[in-house]
Amino acid sequence: MTIQPLIDHFESYLPFDENEKELFQSRVTHRSLKRRHFILQEGFPCKHYTFVVEGCFRMFAVDTKGNEHNIKFAIENDWIADIGSFHSDKPSKLFIEAIEPAVILQIEQQDLYFLYTHIPKLNQILRVIVEDKYVELQNRVLQNISSTALERYLTFQEQYPTLSRRLPNTQIASYLGITPEFLSKLRKDIASS
C-alpha cells in the first residue's frame, strides 16, 4: 500500500521534501504478484520500471531452440526492466517473471518522464544507480570471457550468497551460461575436493 520502500531507496542517495514525496505517491503503483506471474513478455513493449519490494524476479530470453537464458535476477531493493524497450517503446525480446510471490512498485514511462521533469535530481540518482549497475554488468562480462564455468559458479556464490540459496540450481545454471547437468557435475566436484 505504501511506497515508502522506494522513497527510502531514493533517499539513500539524496533527500526529498514532502512536496516531492507526494509527486512520487501520485505516480507510483503498488502491486502484489503470485509466483510465475509475468510482468513482461516477449513481443510487448516494457511499460514499467519495476522496483522490487519483496520477492524475486528473473529476466530471460528464449533462443531459437526454445532454451531460456537468464540475463538478470532482481530481489528486494533492486530495479528490473528492459530499459531499451522501455525508452524506445519497441517490442521487447525478453521476459520478466516472478520466481517467488512478490510485492513491487512500478512507474510507467510517462510518469517517470514527468518525475524527471519535476524532480530533476532524480536524473542524478538514476545516473548513479545505472552507473553502478553498469560496473556490475561489466564485471560479469569479464567473468564470462575470462573464467571457467567452475570459477563463475564459485564467484556467483560468493557475490550473491542470498540468491545462491534462494534459487533452484537450474536457474543459476542458466544465468552462468551452462547446462543444469554440468552444474550438477561441478557441485559434485566441489563437494569431493
Partner DNA sequence: CGTATTTCTTAAGATAGTTCATTGGTCGCA
Partner DNA sequence: TGCGACCAATGAACTATCTTAAGAAATACG
Q: Report, in Å, the least distance between residue 104 CB and its own copies.
A: 20
133 binds, among DNA, its own copies, none (CB under 5 to 8 A by kind): its own copies
Q: Report, in Å, the least distance between residue 10 CB and DNA.
A: 33
Q: What are phi and psi of 92, to 5 degrees?
A: -80, 155
Cβ-based nearer residue to its own copies, 32 or 157: 157
Cβ-based nearer residue to DNA, 66 or 120: 66
Beta strands in 55-157 (DSSP E): 57-62, 68-74, 79-80, 94-98, 102-108
Residue with cell 506471474: 37
Contacting positions for its own copies (CB under 8 A): 61, 63, 67, 69-72, 83-84, 87, 116, 120-121, 123-124, 126-127, 130-131, 133-135, 137-138, 140-142, 144-146, 174-177
Q: What are phi and psi of 105, to 5 degrees?
A: -120, 130
**Smallest Cα–Cα separation from 119: which of 14, 30, 29?**
14
**Smallest Cα–Cα separation from 56: which of 83, 43, 37?**
37
Residue pair 132/78 in contact (Cβ under 8 Å)? The answer is no
Residue pair 68/172 in contact (Cβ under 8 Å)? The answer is no
79 binds, among DNA, its own copies, none (CB under 5 to 8 A by kind): none
Cβ-based nearer residue to its own copies, 25 or 148: 148
Cβ-based nearer residue to its own copies, 143 or 157: 143
188 binds, among DNA, its own copies, none (CB under 5 to 8 A by kind): DNA
Contacting positions for DNA (CB under 7 A): 35-36, 148-150, 168-171, 177-185, 187-188
